[in-house]
Structure formats: structure tokens, C-alpha cells
Amino acid sequence: MAEHSNWLYRWLDERVDLQGLEKFLRHKTVPYHRHSIWYYVGGMTLYLFVVQVITGILLLLYYKPTAESAYESVQYIMTEVPFGWLVRSIHSYAANLFIGCVFVHMFSVFIMKAYRKPREFTWISGALLLFLAMGFGFSGYLLPWNQLAYLATNVGTSFATMVPVVGPWILEFLRGGKEVTGATLTRFFGFHVAVLPGLTTALLAVHLLFVQRQGMSVPIVIEDEISSKKADRRELPFIPNFLFRDMLGWTLALGLIILLATLFPWEVGDKADILKPAPAHIRPEWYFVFMYQTLKYVPKVVGVFGFAIAGMVWVLLPFFDRKSNRGISNKLYTAIGIIVVAYMIIMTAVAYLAPGE
């Protein structure tokens, strides 16, 4: 091979076994069937996470995490820093697309029962990554220190008081005091740029390691077709076929984000003012809205505990779905998944279309 004549390749190969890695990648394949489009959503999520890390680091060069200067520093980024508007807008749009992809990835895995034995840990690490992603969203939303962010954080953190015994302590831990103040901002900044990235990187490594070790799951229906000889087992070489498809998606996603960021730069809003009253029909970021809307219909304690229990059940789902674990199609769980998705969409739509309800 031509590369072998390269002294750098040889130098590295002697030390880190490049040939071994090359051989491994050359032989790595991905299942190829009519549902394999969903495999690309995980890669898209990872790509958007990388975009977030890069743009986040760039924003860190100018952002100041104090109540006195956070808003002004974001304004400065948007108006004075060369391409600051682009970097911040990409960070904001990619954040939302990232969370959207996490949800799509999770529900596609759910519907295809990819969590079934032996991939329980992949599912659990993925579900925990979803919570971390929402934590990123919640903490990042406050950082521009504008009025909407301030009020949303006020409402969001107040749910901590529902937790028995330690609720008030959690509230004070999150807020850095009894109220949402500059202390909360600095704290959320710490969560957003240190705690959450650290945890996410570690958990992501675990998640990818499991994906790598176990390969991608083939849906039961496809497995049944293969075992009954109705279809061939088909696989796609990871390099270059799958990677090119991934890259096509990433390129188009980049185009979409640039388009949005340029035509609709992310707003700075009005600076947070604790004396200003909350505007009517205030709501959190879209991915929290289905929960926020639910809490309007049920007692808060019931709602908060309901979601906490549902979240835990969701994480441990592979251990409940024994039928799928035996390789048998479980239509009940498919129905549950569809109902959950429908519920989230309807609740979100109600909140946006009838804000007073």
C-alpha cells in the first residue's frame, strides 16, 4: 500500500498499530435493510454534539458568566465579535436540533426494540445521555441572562421543591440561594461548561463502546425475514459506504444550520429584570413543554412524581420487555411508544396553539 511508504505512517504504526486499526475499520460493517435510515440519526446526534463543543468553546472566549455582564457579553458577541452572531446562532440552532435528534434517535431505537438483549446497557447509557442533553438545554438557556430565560429558570427550578425532604435543599443547590440570581447564573455556567460536558463525554464513550462492541441491532421483523429465508442478510461496509452517507447528512445539516443562523439570527431578548412581571403564557423550551403543559391539568406533585417514575421506568425499559428480549415482536410496547410520542406531540401542540389552556 502506498501509505506504508510514508515514514510518518510507519513511525505511528510501530507505536499504535495503525495497520490493526485500518484492518478493523475495513472489516467493520453496518446492517443494511429497509429500516437502516434510523441508524444515521445517532451519528447525526454525535455530529451536532461536536458542533456544540466547538461553537461552545468559541463562545467561551467572550462570554462572561455574571449577572452584571452576561447579557452585555452576549450582546457584544452578537454585534461586535467577527462572526460572533454566526457562532452563537449556530450554537443555539444546533442545540435544538441536537435535542430533537436525541429524541428521534431514542424513539427509533424504542420502536425497533434495539434496546433488547444484549443491548440493555446501550439503552440505559443513551437514556441517561438524554437527561444530560436536557440538562444542557436547561442550563444553557439561562446563560444569556435575558428576561425569558430568567423567568423560565425561576419556574423550572421551583419544581425541585416537590421532592420530599430534600426538595428545598435541591432548590437552593440549583439556585445558589433562595432566588434565581447572579449566583444561579454562575452555577448554571459551571454545570453547562464543566459538569455536564464531563459526564456526557464519559457516558458517550461508554455508549459508543457498547455500540462498537455489539454492533447495530437488526429489527426483529428483519431478523425474522432473514431466518425464514425471505430476505438475505445484507451489510454495508462502514468505510466508506456508511461514512459517506453520514457525511452527506452532516453536510446537509450544516447547510440547514447556516441558513437558519443567517436568516434568523438567535435573539438576545431583553435583559433579565427581577422587578418586571412575567409576560402572559410564558413557557419553557419546546422539549420541556409537554411536561409543563401536563402540570396544568394534574396536581403538581402528581405530575412531577409521575414524570420522575415514568423517566425511571423508561431507563429500565429493556428489563420489562421480556418478549422482545426473546426475539419476539412486542406490539404492546410498540403501541406504548406510539402513544408516548403522540402524547408529547399533542401536549406540545396544545401549549403552542392554545397558550391560555
Partner 1 sequence: MRSISTIIFIFLTTAFTNAQQSSCIKCHISSDRVPDTTVAAAYLSADIHNQNGIGCEKCHGGDPTKGFTENDAELAMDPAKGFKPPPDKAGIPEFCARCHSDIEFMKQYNPKLPADQLMLYKTSVHGKLLFEKNDTKVAVCSDCHGAHGVLPSSDSRSKVYHQNAPGTCAACHSQAQYMAGYINKGKPIATDQYDKYSQSVHGVLVLQKGDQSAPACNGCHSNHGATLPSLVSVSAACGECHATNRDFFKSSPHSEPFGKLENPDCEHCHGYHLIQIASDTLLGTSSGALCVGCHEPDSPGYAAAATMRMAIDSLKDAISQAENSTKEAEQKGAEGGQGRFDLGSAKDNLTMVRSVAHTFDPDQVEEITSAGIKTANDVQQKALAALGDIRTRQIGLAVSLLVVIFLAFAIWRKIKQVDKDTDFVVRN
Which residue ranges make up the site for partner 1 (CB under 8 A)? Answer: 32, 75, 78-79, 232-237, 240-241, 244-245, 247-248, 251-252, 254-255, 258-259, 262-265, 268
Residue 19 CA to residue 212 CA, distance in Å, equals 18
Among 66, 138, 157, 57, which Cα is nearest to 96's? 138
Q: Which is nearer to partner 1, 222 or 289 (CB)?
A: 222
Query: Minimum distance between the CB of residue 356 and partner 1, rounded to whole angstroms?
Result: 29
Q: Is the dihedral of CA 274, 194, 163, 106 positive or negative?
A: positive
Query: Minimum distance between the CB of residue 309 and partner 1, rounded to whole angstroms?
Result: 43
Q: Which is nearer to partner 1, 235 or 321 (CB)?
A: 235
Q: Which is nearer to partner 1, 18 or 231 (CB)?
A: 231
Query: Minimum distance between the CB of residue 236 and partner 1, rounded to whole angstroms?
Result: 6
Query: Minimum distance between the CB of residue 152 and partner 1, rounded to whole angstroms?
Result: 21
Q: Which is nearer to partner 1, 236 or 282 (CB)?
A: 236
Q: Which is nearer to partner 1, 77 or 133 (CB)?
A: 77
**Orientation angle between helical segments 182-190 and 120-142, nearest 10 degrees:** 150
Find the angle CA(74)-CA(75)-CA(78) to the nearest 5 degrees.
85
**Orientation angle between helical segments 39-60 and 243-263, nearest 10 degrees:** 50
Query: Minimum distance between the CB of residue 151 and partner 1, rounded to whole angstroms?
Result: 20
Among 214, 203, 208, which Cα is nearest to 116's? 214
Query: Minimum distance between the CB of residue 227 and partner 1, rounded to whole angstroms?
Result: 13
Residue 312 CA to residue 177 CA, distance in Å, equals 29
Q: Which helix (H) or strand (E) holds 29?
A: strand 29-31
Q: Which is nearer to partner 1, 76 or 314 (CB)?
A: 76
Residue 350 CA to residue 340 CA, distance in Å, equals 15
Instruction: Considering only CA atoms, give the Rg of the chain.
Output: 23
Q: Which is nearer to partner 1, 255 or 299 (CB)?
A: 255
Q: Which is nearer to partner 1, 178 or 230 (CB)?
A: 230
**Beta partners for 271?**
146
Tell me if 293 sits within 8 A of 351, measured CB to CB.
Answer: yes
Query: Minimum distance between the CB of residue 212 and partner 1, rounded to whole angstroms?
Result: 19
Query: Minimum distance between the CB of residue 239 and partner 1, rounded to whole angstroms?
Result: 10
Query: Minimum distance between the CB of residue 144 and partner 1, rounded to whole angstroms?
Result: 12
- How many Å from the N-terminal Cα to the C-terminal Cα in the chain? 68
**Residues in CB range of 316: below 8 A, 6 or more apart:** 124
Q: Cell numbers for 88, please give them.
A: 452563537
Q: Which is nearer to partner 1, 244 or 297 (CB)?
A: 244
Q: Which is nearer to partner 1, 255 or 355 (CB)?
A: 255
Tell me if 341 sits within 8 A of 107, measured CB to CB.
Answer: yes
Nearest 10 degrees: Cα torsion 94, 98, 100, 103: 180
Residue 120 CA to residue 53 CA, distance in Å, equals 28
Residue 173 CA to residue 167 CA, distance in Å, equals 10
Query: Minimum distance between the CB of residue 37 and partner 1, rounded to whole angstroms?
Result: 14
Residue 159 CA to residue 171 CA, distance in Å, equals 8
